[in-house]
Structure 1
Amino acid sequence: MRIAVGGIQHETNTRAAITPLDAFILGGGWPGWQKGAQIAATLGAMNLPVSGAIAALSADARVGAANVLPLMWAAATPSGRVADAAFDALADELIERIEAAGPLDGVYLDLHGAMATVSHDDAEGELLARIRARVGDALPLVVSLDLHANVSRRSFELCDAMVVYRSYPHVDMDESGARAARLLIERIVRGRPWKKAMAEVAFVAPLTAQCTLAEPAQSLMARLERLEVEEGLASMSWASGFPLAEVSCRQQTVLVYGDDAKAAGRVSLAFAAAIEAERDRFTEAPLSAGDAVNEALRRVAAQAGLPVVLCDTEDNPGAGAASDNPGILRALVERAASRAVVAVLCDAQAASAAHAAGVGGRIELALGGRADAPDNTPYEAAFIVERTTDGRFTGTGPMWRDSPIDLGPMALLLVEHTDVRVIVSTRTMQAADQSIFRHVGIEPATMSVLALKSSVHFRADFNAITSSVIVVR
């Protein structure tokens, strides 16, 4: 079998700034735009769907490594709507490479499912429609999607199958790509599409309530996995939607594939009803920055040991925020916190000033507060530069394992006359991997308070070293 492999990944927060093509070229938390043989060479065994798919296809004797045809893969840090010119450039090259690959038995694509452009709320649907217009409807096409995908009816109908991650934090991205690849092989062998059903759920929960390490998502996902086996389905998925994409297709969906159309419809509707029945449990109770810090310091005093996490979900760059709100930093200083660190505040000017001053230098800054967001004002103070780096390091946690990360010039700053520190960067990445701290010389488990600009992904790497989590609004 000759199978083409590629992908375009972007999670769009429609309130954030427009995303240019450079964001895909540079990457950030993930490698930048990869083409052809670069995909396998660069991404290797990273926790990425395309990596898992390539490995699964190459290991299957019916395909083999020589018949896996890498096209292109690009991902950008979550941000605002993708510029139309950027989307067109990415889509055009992907389609041109599909056509240049010659006769194909199938196509696997690593997509997100919550990408929107300036002109298209449903960017994946638009991309798939363009592909189908060039390759026809008969060519088997299977895609993997992020758990936060906003799946439209249009994109669902254009694919032979869609496979969604089953964990949040997304520790199973590579396995989801492998599942999609195996499903594609099965689709080619059977010679005909499955019957399929899609059920929609009327609400989308806050990101922090979608965590599959907690209820009710944990039990629902376990139930889905049992149903897939018990009902003899080819595949079953649940996409919980991305709440920060204000688009027409924002929704939760249940996707079912099998040989019996009636059974697929019945299972999809029943599971959608089960999600709806848990609606009141998909909630969060965030605290203000001041109240959250007060509670964190109370917990630290009561249970000396592992650090408390302040989850700065509102300024999470993993959901498209600017990652430059110093509100928690200000609250930590005002309350005289000790052994507290904020990560990562994105301020290229501050990073540059720190590098110019050098380690041990004293600099006065109006830190952060540039993005147009509620209660986001610069924090004016004097800082001592404790460490400067080039921002290039390798991820070590379950999600970013072996991934080369490039956040541009970085610095560790100490607020003068305090025991509160902040890690600043030039480019954004949510603080979901301990390597970010170790890169600037901090062992996170030795701190009292870790203020992390992340919603849920941090749990994969930090849960084992922290005592509790407080969600901050």
Structure 2
Amino acid sequence: MARIGVLGFLHETNTFAPGPTELARFIEADAWPGLVEGQALLDATGAMNLAVSGFVAAMRDTGHILAPLLWCSANPSGPVADAAFDTIVSRMETLLRQAGPLDALFLDLHGSMVTEHLDDAEGELLQRLRRITGPAIPYVAALDFHAIITQAMVDQTQAMVAYHSYPHVDMADTGARAARMMQRLLAGESFHAAWQKLDFLVSMPWQSTLGDEPAGKIMAQARALETLDRPEVQFIPGFPNSDTPESGPAILAYASTPARAQAGVQALAQRVSGLQQAFSGTLHTPDQALQIARTHASLRYILADTQDNPGGGAAGDTTGILHALLDQQLSGAAVALLCDAPFALAAHQAGTGSTIRLPLGGRSTPGDPPVEGDFEILALGDGKFVGTGPFYQGCRMELGLMARARIQGVDVLVSSRKQQAADQAMFRHLGADPQDYRILVLKSSVHFRADFSALADHILMVKAPGANTADLRELRYTRLRPGVTIL
């Protein structure tokens, strides 16, 4: 019987987004729990689609003892403030020292955290923890699909497992995979790692693993390469809006021998090479997308406002597509979620059924001006509800005061905390059914597909101003290693 420490520290860092990301963002809850310590960690994260939840559930009947220490996350945004990183890691170190003897450590990480002065924050975190535990005990980490793998991360862990899917409907399943690796390590097995960094960047909208997308084909090939003695062969596309020397996809494998691990990496690398140029798609301007929707008036459309996706580090408050809807006088549409805490508060003060005249959104850069006009307040909510879709399943949302407001026949779902529109429960919390709209404008890149795709005849990627740049060629990378191609 082993005693296993449990830690989590997640942030997807968009180095091009205005920052820094301060400590308060990790302390507050949003779609996921705020910073939590000790036994409360298990209650706060239980029964959610999170890696830590899946790990805990999978270990429950194994006879091993879990020692929950600390878990926190913050919505994707600009570089993490050095002071915030140091505060959280120092607290982790204190709790680890106080935890008593541990036989292993599970870590729920994102894998692409960058601070003001650290390119590889996870590598630094792991090294600092190792100074306390020593090199002998096994570390198993769960990683995001968009993790940026580094040598330090590989060196400091016995195994790392990343999500297989985008949308990330398998986060809890990934925790269960981590638990299986942990049990094999505790039983005395050892795994050899092999990995390879790939020299290209893929924009987020084209990383989907659904349908016939290239990432989906690669994932299927990776699963075909896995065996009992080579349990993990992974394609990890990385987070492209990160300007660091290690940015880019990676292939990572674990096997009983170095040769078996390396063979898995090489086989998958050949598959990726053959599909590299297939990572592409069409970005529409708001006017182009709405003209398509107008021309095919009998069809239902989702317009993905990908560049204002909070899940990629954007502010979630831009108004480009909303302005276009109003300019083209298209009704029967809804925009979700637009983050504007002052507007939500004013809506609550005015009450349901009232009309308020207040600027909405448009506070962030890059972005269009606020929308001004008369807004009818249709519904109000406290922002506390449970996710029901495959991605946010079980997540106890805390998005602050929310409102559904209508202007010129267009409904806007407003929140006080930014969160990408990836769950139909966001609509139902405000008395709306997403099926009632012919045009859904969703501030998301890919995650929305898990819960909304069935509602649309067509999905269009829309390029309106926002900090989550979709055409990577528009970004001014200055720190990429030589030879990296931007697709």
Structure-2-length-normalised TM-score: 0.92
The amino acid of 2:319's aligned partner reads P
Report whether the alignment pairs 1:226 with 2:216.
no
Other-structure match for 1:187: 185
Other-structure match for 1:251: 248
The equivalent position to 1:377 in structure 2, one of 364, 369, 385, is: 369
Measured after TM superposition, the shift of residue 96 of structure 1 is: 2.0
Counterpart Cα distance in 1 of 2:410 and 2:53? 39
Other-structure match for 1:22: 24
Measured after TM superposition, the shift of residue 467 of structure 1 is: 1.9
The amino acid of 1:463's aligned partner reads S
User: Could you tell which deviates more after superposition, 87-96 or 204-213?
Assistant: 87-96
The amino acid of 2:8's aligned partner reads G
Other-structure match for 1:103: 101
The secondary structure found in structure 1 opposite 2:264 is helix
The equivalent position to 1:137 in structure 2, one of 135, 138, 142, is: 135
Counterpart Cα distance in 1 of 2:273 and 2:360? 43
The amino acid of 2:50's aligned partner reads L
> What CA deviation, in whole Å up to 9, does each residue of 1:31-65 have, x standing for no partner?
1111111111121111000011011111213x1xx
The equivalent position to 1:32 in structure 2, one of 26, 31, 34, is: 34
The equivalent position to 1:346 in structure 2, one of 339, 342, 365, is: 339
The secondary structure found in structure 2 opposite 1:53 is helix
> What CA deviation, in whole Å up to 9, does each residue of 1:365-394 have, x standing for no partner?
222111111x42222222111112211111
Other-structure match for 1:156: 154
Other-structure match for 1:451: 441
The amino acid of 1:13's aligned partner reads N
The amino acid of 2:284's aligned partner reads L
Other-structure match for 2:414: 424
The equivalent position to 2:315 in structure 1, one of 310, 314, 322, is: 322
Other-structure match for 1:3: 4
Other-structure match for 2:467: none
Other-structure match for 1:297: 294
The amino acid of 1:268's aligned partner reads V
Counterpart Cα distance in 2 of 1:296 and 1:126? 48
Measured after TM superposition, the shift of residue 294 of structure 1 is: 1.3
Measured after TM superposition, the shift of residue 275 of structure 1 is: 1.3
The secondary structure found in structure 1 opposite 2:15 is coil
Counterpart Cα distance in 2 of 1:161 and 1:236? 11
Counterpart Cα distance in 1 of 2:269 and 2:93? 34
> What CA deviation, in whole Å up to 9, does each residue of 1:326-359 have, x standing for no partner?
1111111111212100001111121122122222
Counterpart Cα distance in 1 of 2:15 and 2:29? 19
Counterpart Cα distance in 2 of 1:224 and 1:297? 42
Within a 5 Å distance, the mapping from 1:162-177 to structure 2 comes to 162-177=160-175
Structure 1's 85 and 269: CA in aligned 2 closer, same or farther, altered over 3 A?
Answer: same
Other-structure match for 1:265: 262
Contact 1:200 1:272 in 2 (8 A): no
The secondary structure found in structure 1 opposite 2:234 is strand
Gaps of 5+ in 1: none
Runs of 4 or more consecutive aligned structure 1 residues displaced over 3 Å after TM superposition: none
Measured after TM superposition, the shift of residue 225 of structure 1 is: 0.5
Counterpart Cα distance in 2 of 1:226 and 1:297? 44
The equivalent position to 1:401 in structure 2, one of 393, 404, 412, is: 393
The secondary structure found in structure 1 opposite 2:372 is strand
Gaps of 5+ in 2: 464-487
Measured after TM superposition, the shift of residue 182 of structure 1 is: 1.3
Measured after TM superposition, the shift of residue 207 of structure 1 is: 0.6
> What CA deviation, in whole Å up to 9, does each residue of 1:123-165 have, x standing for no partner?
1011001111221111110101000001111111111111010
The equivalent position to 1:83 in structure 2, one of 81, 84, 92, is: 81
Counterpart Cα distance in 1 of 2:128 and 2:326? 53
Report whether the alignment pairs 1:242 with 2:234.
no
Contact 2:5 2:68 in 1 (8 A): yes
Q: Percentage identity across aligned positions?
A: 42
Contact 1:27 1:77 in 2 (8 A): no
Structure-1-length-normalised TM-score: 0.95
Other-structure match for 2:484: none
The equivalent position to 1:363 in structure 2, one of 340, 356, 362, is: 356
Measured after TM superposition, the shift of residue 397 of structure 1 is: 0.7
Contact 1:296 1:310 in 2 (8 A): no
Contact 1:254 1:271 in 2 (8 A): yes
